[in-house]
Chain A
């Protein structure tokens, strides 16, 4: 039997899940757990959140509007630069722009606002350039949209790829050096301090994309994706809606670029290649074209595999297997093969075009092999069992107290401090990596 949860239950579950997630990140970020895995965990969370955002923005275009656009890396690049340029502290300009006489922008928004408003100004100083980065990218995207969106799907792919390349060349152009630092890296700009920041920003942005898709405009986008001619016959202005989707998608790509700049602490135009766009596209494919939650899951899986789980493949030892063929670069080969498998044999990706829902999650959880089928009954049974255990424990405790009183000096280890938790798979993985 399918279970349908109440809306309140779902809302509660979501709130709890998000809260737990944030607490976990906060705890890990503040060194409450030891071990290198936790540091890795934080890296994956940060990078995963950033890529989840850019993948969701790409999905909005490719999956929901049917525009095969490959300009995402270029827009991220632009977002990253426009954020970094305005937040380099005045004192650092001479060192950063050492080949360009300290550049022409001699101030930092963060510092200006900090002086005026203190700590609130600091955060506003990060937030405003980030939004500005998004808006600037959106503006450029609008200009690009005019010629590009008239093209048919495959030409659109190449033209957007081309624009990304033009942007890359533009930001490396020496003549613009006083602003962009030419082909040298930008560094020392203000970054976020807590891993919570990118997670929350990306989360909000993804939620907005999600809301957009489920509005009437989102329906119009999907109509264009399904059948342009029919959509037009329904009075939907193709150019208006396509450019809307393109501009909004670019805005979020710009924001994710700004976040990436903060994550990396230094930025240069070189890595924003077509390969990066391909990676974003592949995240979308892994998650499922047409599923925002799929993109999010895809992004975290992708970064976790690339940065963490498959890392051993590069250093000669992975899952206890060592081999000579595991040398630097092997990870990416395995990865690419996995992706090709997904593309060829599992083209729908993890989520297909469905979104995550608690109903589906609960039903999936119950339908997995070995699951407890009648869980309401079981739950009852469990709670009774727990009650019993509690009374038993209380009895034991009372007994122990007596025992303790009896043999005060004898330091026994009779009662375990914690009742042993059932080990889940994840815990085991963490343990292994931690060692």
Chain B
């Protein structure tokens, strides 16, 4: 019981962070599923959502700010897709990855310019910061809300993918890009919708994630972004439930590691996990094997 009480705060924090990673990871996994592209800029879209919130809250009420942040993230993501990815769709795989890295570099540097490299204080959202007691542990409201909100959003997303026409189109495109375009599926629309969903979730994730921390700086998106990507790989890239599961595993494991005093390696652990999973099961937990045609 005592052991449980010691570890409870870490596990709770882990679940919360895991939920936040999950919201970012969905964007990675869906984009990868459809375009076979690691959207290196996704973590920076997440960071920019946080940054915009800092500026918006000074002029707008909270609820409106959140909405504008989500809209902003969607616009940013779809613009990036249109400007930097779409023209390179038929180019070699490496070119589009380099473009993604270039966008990431641009977003980080632009943030650096806007903020002057300083860490900005993320607005305290009173409702999310409220202290709650669970057993002997006290925690913030955001910790409690995150997993539930994540699960709800993921449930809605899975419903969308399974039961709507656009969802069906998405599944078809992710299975076979060329054939689906020959079948008359509007590929561009599918890709745009994918980016819209991914970015909207990342924006919501940013509100929850940064509420946990006091500050935000231009590099704040890089690490969560990479971790979310690893989560997506862990769960099997292209699979939404897989990404969510992976994100929770990483979130919890990372916090337990922090609890044991190995904080330095809490980031590194994620990558150890990545390498292990790729060696044992390269397709991730729920991924499908695709065979190279010779």
Contacts from A to B (Cβ < 8 Å): 62, 66, 68, 147-148, 150-155, 157-159, 161-163, 165-166, 169-170, 172-174, 229, 273-275, 278-279, 281-282, 285, 289, 327-330, 332-333, 335-337, 339-340, 343-344, 347
Contact = CB atoms under 8 A, between A and B. Distances in A.
Closest 8 CB pairs of A and B: A162-B271, A329-B113, A336-B106, A166-B268, A332-B109, A169-B268, A336-B109, A343-B102
Chain B binding site: helix, strand, loop or mixed by DSSP?
helix
B164 to A, nearest CB: 29
Q: How large is the interface on B (under 10, 10 to 19, 20 to 34, 35 or more residues)?
A: 35 or more
B267 A169 contact: yes
Q: Is the interface of A mostly helix, strand, loop or mixed?
A: helix
8 contacts: A68-B97, A151-B278, A162-B274, A274-B222, A275-B108, A333-B106, A333-B113, A336-B106
A158 B38 contact: yes
Given A172-B264, A337-B106, A347-B91, A154 B278 contact: no
A172 B37 CA distance: 32
B141 to A, nearest CB: 31
Nearest to B112: A329
B106 A329 contact: no
A337 B110 CA distance: 10
A157 B38 contact: yes
A174 B264 contact: yes
Nearest to A183: B264
A157 B219 contact: no
B97 A154 contact: yes
Contact of A336 (B83, B110, B271): B110
A278 B97 contact: no
Interface of B: 32, 36-38, 83-84, 87-88, 91, 93-95, 97-99, 101-106, 108-110, 112-114, 116-117, 219, 222, 226, 229-230, 233, 264-265, 267-268, 270-272, 274-275, 278-279, 282, 292, 294
A320 B230 CA distance: 47
Contact of A281 (B37, B101, B294): B101
Most buried by A among B88, B112, B271: B271
A228 to B, nearest CB: 9
Contacts of B94: 62, 66, 68, 153, 289
B229 A344 contact: no
Nearest to A144: B275
Nearest to A158: B229
Contacts of A274: 222, 226
Given A153-B94, A157-B38, A343-B102, A170 B268 contact: yes
B257 to A, nearest CB: 11
A337 B99 CA distance: 12
A289 B95 CA distance: 10
A163 B268 CA distance: 8
Given A336-B106, A344-B88, A147 B278 contact: yes
A229 B294 contact: yes
A420 B58 CA distance: 62
A169 to B, nearest CB: 4
Given A275-B108, A329-B117, A165 B267 contact: yes
B121 to A, nearest CB: 19
B230 A162 contact: yes
B110 to A, nearest CB: 5
A338 B211 CA distance: 35
A304 B102 CA distance: 19
Contacts of A347: 88, 91, 95
A155 B279 contact: no
